[in-house]
Structure 1
Amino acid sequence: MVAAEESHGLTSRPTTLEEAVGVLTGARQVVLLAHVNPDADALGSALALGLALHRRGAHVQVSFGAPERPAESLRDLDVAGLVVPHHRVVHRPELLVVLDTGSVDRLGPLADRAETAGTTLVIDHHVSNSGFGTFYYVDPRAEATAVMVLHLLDAIGAPVDLPTARCLYAGLVTDTRNFRAASPDTHAMAARLLVAGVDAEAVTRPLLDTHPFSWLAMLSAVLATARLEVDEARGLGLVHALVTRDHIDVGRQEEIESVIDVLRTTAEAEVAVVLKQVGDRRWTANMRSKGRLDVAAAASALGGGGHRHASGFTVDGDAPDILDRVRRALADAPLLG
């Protein structure tokens, strides 16, 4: 568990699995939020837990601050129609559950719900989680928030049927890079979800292996901006690329997010960074390492956070200046051993 700190005038405190279950099962109105631009772990975890609470009789909404709709590859996970646009989220929910979100600013326009909710429970596996909300249940040892949600469902006594299992499997397969970074226990969880009826190929293909033809042109344009700097990142090598608003305008969210997975294959670079332009001078960054450098520390120095091997941040400025800041942050990042 991470240490408690002050947030929005409330004293956050860590909670146990049993206490988290008590908070969840005692509420009759629950809003579950993922971070902006939710990935499969964030949205899949929210939907799996939301479905269990919905079946127990609670009024449930699942949402996120942006974009208006989930990524196309994730829409089939919402079998009960729990996802609502951010402008329809109740203003003062009895219970707010924030999943897979390291800091309140990652909620975007829904960040104020952490202030207006009667109780806020944060469920996350990011080591950099700031401990906001009323309670937080954070386990950096978990490879995915979906792992934690499965433990919660078991503690609640909720059935893990096929719709629930598909949501959880989507989170596991993406956050473990198709189980390449999964522990034996997480492989056992995946096996359990397969026994529940999950078709691994059908879930995985749209998430990891399917792109429209236009992706090729977008990827070509983005990779043309790629630069390799073998002396950066403490001499371990840095590769970076820019995704401008022109690229974003012609690509789906899935295609934009997939760029980092191509860039990280560069053999000469320990660290890969993709800067994405989301405003005139605002950029978000994805950072990945191959396991020798702590990019979470670098991201934290730049106002973000995440995992030691996968992290990100959002910052205002010009791309060349931001890249200079990235170089400095990586030069100070701890080596992992």
Structure 2
Amino acid sequence: MTLHEIANKILPMNKIGITFHVSPDGDAAGSVLSLYQALKKIGKEAYMISKDTISYNLSFLPFSNELNGECVSPKEDSDCVIILDCGNKERISADLEGFKGTIINIDHHLSNDLYGDLNFIDVTASATAEIVYSLINLLNAEMDSDIAKCLYTALVTDTGSFRHSNATPTTHNIASELLKFDINHSDIHSNIFDNKPFEKLKLIGYVLGNTELIYEGKLAVMEITKDTVSRLNIVLDDSSDIISQGLQIRGVEGAVLFREVEDGVKVSLRSKKYLNVNKVASVFGGGGHIRASGITMKNISLNEAKNLVLNQIKEEI
């Protein structure tokens, strides 16, 4: 199904819920917030569904206060729920059990399970926000500075400030169009990246101090235990800025971060040029992109998770 066909399906609908993946990052939040505003502009009864709240560094985004974790399931008589930037049904930040309306799945992840009644997946897009930008235009919704700010934030976060290999000419063209709406790109960058609590920096320092290089220095291995998080008295809602530090090491091709959680271990994987971390993640039911993927491993110890994942990486690196 084309994006134009998706837009034509949305236009006759009125009551529309929008959601994203659990622990929403900048692309998920920016995409949902921008589409929410656009649908309102064309007269739709749009609302956002989220089990999660927005992280502190994204709270500057317009209407982010409405993502407060209070609306967790579709409202009565909703025509559809649009799910953005979520690769599989288990990671949707909404309770959709019993929902009888249409589920529209819009994403850019290679590992997307095509769980929607209507699916549009563009793996060439650097961020789901690229797709949402096109969708907003197809819906003939008027762009403004608030929508542009949300979309630009999404592009910045998923491309690592446009330095990752997923940033394409299309990405830069869209960014250029968004900047015409008088948004302050410097302030956006500062809010996202220069806005860490002191405890987070202490955690980064601790993790880096205990990072190991293996496989002839090609892989940086990092870990965060529950005890470390408790001792530093920090609420860790995002660890992407921590694992990115591992990729900055000279000679490293990949980085893996093991994070101990209540019911198991969360694993983040990143690479530079040739290591396909999506292939590694898929072995354990995870997924994402070729250069950035994640895994959730239930009922397993930190050491067990490390042994399994590192052995799999060894076969690929």
Is the TM-score greater than 0.5? yes
Note if contact 1:60-1:82 (Cα within 8 Å) is conserved in structure 2: no
Q: Which moved more, 1:242-251 or 1:282-291?
A: 242-251
Aligned partner of 1:203 in structure 2 is 188
- 2:5 & 2:287 partners in 1: Cα distance? 26
Distance of 1:61 and 1:144 partners within structure 2 = 22
Distance 1:172 1:52 in 2: 17
Q: Distance in 2 between matches of 1:218 and 1:143?
A: 29
> Measured at CA, do residues 59 and 80 of structure 1 come closer, stay the same or move farther in structure 2, by a change above 3 Å?
farther
1:232-272: CA deviations, max 9, x gaps? xxxx7211111122444533446633211112212232110
Call closer, same or farther: CA 1:144–1:55 in 2, change over 3 Å.
same
- Alpha-carbon distance between aligned partners in 2 of 1:205 and 1:268, rounded to the nearest angstrom: 29
Q: Distance in 2 between matches of 1:143 and 1:180?
A: 11
Q: Which residue of 1 aligns with 2:138?
A: 155
Match for residue 130 of structure 1 among 105, 113, 119: 113
User: Which segment drifts farther, 75-84 or 305-314?
Assistant: 75-84
Cα distance in 1 for partners of 2:303, 2:227 equals: 18
CA contact (8 A) 1:51 1:80 kept: no
For the 8 Å contact 1:33–1:46, the answer to whether it is kept is yes
Secondary structure at the aligned position of 1:23 is classed as helix
Deviation at 1:115, TM superposition (A): 5.3
State the match for 1:89 in structure 2. Answer: 73
Tell me, yes or no, if structure 1 residue 78 matches structure 2 residue 62: yes
Q: Which runs of 5+ in 2 are unaligned?
A: none
Farther off after superposition, 57-66 or 171-180: 57-66
Aligned twin of 1:9: none
SS state at 1:76 partner: coil
**Distance (Å, rounded) in 1 between the aligned partners of 2:71 and 2:261:** 20
Matched-pair identity in %:
29
Q: Secondary structure at the match of 1:141?
A: coil
Amino acid at match of 1:283: V
Q: What TM-score do the two structures reach when normalised by structure 1?
A: 0.86
Structure-2 residue corresponding to 1:144: 127
Partner Cα distance (1:287, 1:204) in 2: 23
Determine the C-alpha separation between the residues in 2 that align with 1:88 and 1:38.
14
Aligned CA distance change for structure 1 residues 42 and 114 (closer, same or farther; 3 Å): farther
- The residue identity in structure 2 corresponding to 1:140 is V
- For the residue of structure 1 that corresponds to 2:269, the secondary structure is strand
Q: How does 1:309-320 map to 2 (within 5 A)?
A: 309-316=291-298, 317-320=300-303
Q: CA deviation at 1:82?
A: 4.3
- Structure 1: gaps (5+ residues): 1-14
Aligned residues: 311
Q: Is the 8 A contact 1:63 1:84 kept in 2?
A: no
In the alignment, the residues of structure 1 paired with residue 236 and residue 184 of structure 2 have an alpha-carbon distance, to the nearest angstrom, of 24
CA RMSD, aligned part only? 2.0
Report which stretch shifted further, 246-255 or 201-210: 246-255
CA distance in 1, matches of 2:68, 2:82: 15
Change (3 A) 1:144 1:115: farther
Tell me if 1:284 matches 2:266: yes
Q: Which residue of 2 aligns with 1:6?
A: none
Quick one: distance in 2 between partners of 1:75 and 1:33?
17
3-state DSSP of counterpart to 1:32: strand
1:30 to 12, 16, 20: 16
Q: Do the aligned partners of 1:79 and 1:163 also contact (CA within 8 Å) in 2? A: no
1:96-117 deviations in whole A, cap 9, x for unaligned? 1111111011125x2x416514
CA distance in 1, matches of 2:223, 2:64: 38
Moved more, 261-270 or 170-179: 261-270
Give the stretch that moved more between structures: 130-139 or 52-61. 52-61
Confirm or deny that 1:259 pairs with 2:242. Answer: yes
**How many Å separate the matches in 2 of 1:238 and 1:80?**
37
- For 1:221, the equivalent position in structure 2 comes to 206
Q: State the TM-score, normalized to the length of structure 2.
A: 0.91
Are 2:40 and 1:54 aligned? yes
